[in-house]
Amino acid sequence: MATRTNDPRQPGRSAPIRSAPGRHDLSRRSLLGIAGLAGGAFALPGCFSTGGTTANQGSTKPGGKVDLTFWLPGGADGYLKVHEDVAKEYGKQHSNVNVSVTRLTGEQNFLEVLLARIAGGNPPSATVLWDTPVALGIRGSLMELDAFMEKSENSQLANWPEAVLASCQFDGKTYGLPFTAGSYAMYYNQEWFEEKGIPADRESFPKTWDDLRSLSKEFTRWKGDKIEAAGFLPPFDQYTLPVWSALNGGQIFDASAGKYTIDSEQNIEMMEYFVSWMNEEYEGDLRKVTRSFEALLGEAPPTFQEKRLAMRFDGTWLMGDFYSVEAKFERWEVASNPVGPSGDSTVSGYWPNWMAIPTASNSPEEAFNYLDHIAVDGAQAQFAEFPDLPTNAKVPDDIVPSKLVERRGQEYAEDATAFFREQLDIATPMWDSPVQTFAIDQLTRVLEQISTKAAKPKDALAEAQKACQAELDKVL
């Protein structure tokens, strides 16, 4: 999975508001290709900015003082500052430890750099990951954390949401900590709903895909062959596909059985439903919608804020990213995800920020103690600026994003945050495959084929199923 250069799901990023939630650049090699770097290290250009240096990967000094290096895969200056402040505070509380924070700012792929350092025996003491720890852990690139977790102050297994922690676990071993995770829900423009005489309270939002599809038509407006506004766009998104599959009673990967289920009946039905919706409301071509929006508003337009898109499926981070541009309305609301034809209850999903300890870390125990601190104190500090939910049970559940309080008041901020916490509790397992990035690449290709009608859903999904299962079997 490529370094996320402009992704709303990552802290400190300005959101690329598009016709669908922000997509990653997948042109770089996948994790499976990167894993081949374990055979040896290579020379690295100066691709990091300080707090910290690439040369000092952590050491234990005379007298027992430990130098830890903590890496960030990227992020804006504010994200770096949050972590620098957390490190300084930790140093004040633990006089035997000094933590230096290092941020990737160059073009080189973060995982290439990290894996090369691991192979060379000089990795950071600990790191934030924006890619699932499972694929790295089973290849021996990350340390198992279970023994540390058992005797930790904050990070016992019981303190993490089960579905979210599953993204760090394989075969009974834990390779990371999901210290924050934005959960998904439906955002909608309350003011626009009210203008059309549509009930705008949360409980009245559509409960099924059929109702959502019907409501979407109320907002979609064409001018010739150009679309001026849309209700909701069928979600041809490879990253959130497990959520929509679960909403229709299916799944993409069954971790307990160690098998993919991409071409299940529920998933075929799901993709046929989205194609039918695309044909009915958007003349069979979602690219036409994107092109129309770009013609109206310029590249990557803020369609939701510009009142061009009435509803969007997005994560907790939008509570902050909404205010990255001046919106044409003030009151948005959030609601539970509607259920598909074969689904029986609403579910959500999540996008975590993980922390892990690379193999050959200079001081694993001290590094874990620092991660244990970040799991509670650091996650709270980050949440104040970037609203990805802290997941650890010891984080007070009454903290709210400061930006949202400034714009919508304390009462609404508390209500919206509580709602997203509830979504995290009903999240479907995802990000838990040992070949996660390979599967993402396959789903990207398949969804492109289906959305452009280059292949029928059944055939395309069967092809992806075959490829992903074969790759999984090879790795296992």
Per residue of the chain (476 residues), give pLDDT as tens.
Answer: 333 333 444 565 433 322 222 223 322 223 333 333 333 333 333 343 333 333 344 455 555 789 999 999 998 898 999 999 999 999 999 999 999 999 987 666 898 999 999 999 999 999 999 888 999 999 899 999 999 999 999 999 999 999 899 999 998 999 999 999 999 999 999 999 999 999 999 999 999 999 999 999 999 999 888 889 999 999 999 999 999 999 999 999 999 999 999 999 999 999 999 999 999 999 998 888 877 776 655 544 588 999 999 999 999 999 988 998 899 999 999 999 999 999 999 999 999 999 999 999 999 999 999 999 999 999 999 898 888 899 999 999 889 988 899 999 999 999 999 999 999 999 999 999 999 999 999 999 999 999 999 999 999 999 999 999 999 999 88
Helix (H) and strand (E) counts in the chain: 18, 15
DSSP per residue, 318-383: HHHHGGGS--S-S-EEEEPPPB-TT--S--B-EEEEEEE-BTT-S-HHHHHHHHHHIIIIIHHHHH
**CA nearest to 417, candidates 385, 394, 440, 389:** 389
Residue ranges of the domains in the chain? 31-182+351-417, 184-349+433-475
Between the alpha carbon of residue 413 and those of residues 225, 388, 406, 408, 450, the distances in Å are: 40, 14, 9, 7, 39
pLDDT of residue 174: 97
pLDDT of residue 25: 31
Between the alpha carbon of residue 254 and those of residues 198, 428, 467, 474, the distances in Å are: 39, 11, 16, 17
pLDDT of residue 290: 78
Cis bond before residue 51 (omega within 30° of 0) = yes
pLDDT of residue 63: 55
pTM here is 0.86
Bridge partners (DSSP) listed for residue 352? 181
Domains 31-182+351-417 and 184-349+433-475 alike in fold? yes
Domain 31-182+351-417 in CATH 3.40.190.10? The answer is yes
For 200-250, the pLDDT digits (tens) are: 999 999 999 999 999 999 999 998 888 899 999 999 999 999 999 999 999
pLDDT of residue 13: 44
pLDDT of residue 295: 61
How far is Cα 313 from Cα 274, in angstroms, rounded to an integer?
15
DSSP 3-state of 274 = helix
pLDDT of residue 360: 94
Rounded (5°) CA angle 75-25-34: 90
CB 328 within 8 A of CB 305: yes
Between the alpha carbon of residue 309 and those of residues 186, 199, 280, 317, the distances in Å are: 12, 17, 17, 18
Which residues have a Cβ under 8 Å from the Cβ of 272 and sit 6 or more positions away? Answer: 457
- Where are the strands (E) in 407-473, listed by range? none
CATH number of 184-349+433-475: 3.40.190.10
With b for 16 or more beta-carbon neighbours within 10 A and e for fewer, the 279-298 pattern comes to: eebbeeebeebbebbeebee
How far is Cα 461 from Cα 135, in angstroms, rounded to an integer?
23
- What would the two tokens of residue 173 be? 């071993």
For 195-214, the pLDDT digits (tens) are: 999 999 999 999 999 999 99
Which is it for strands 97-104 and 66-72: parallel, antiparallel or unpaired?
parallel
pLDDT of residue 15: 34
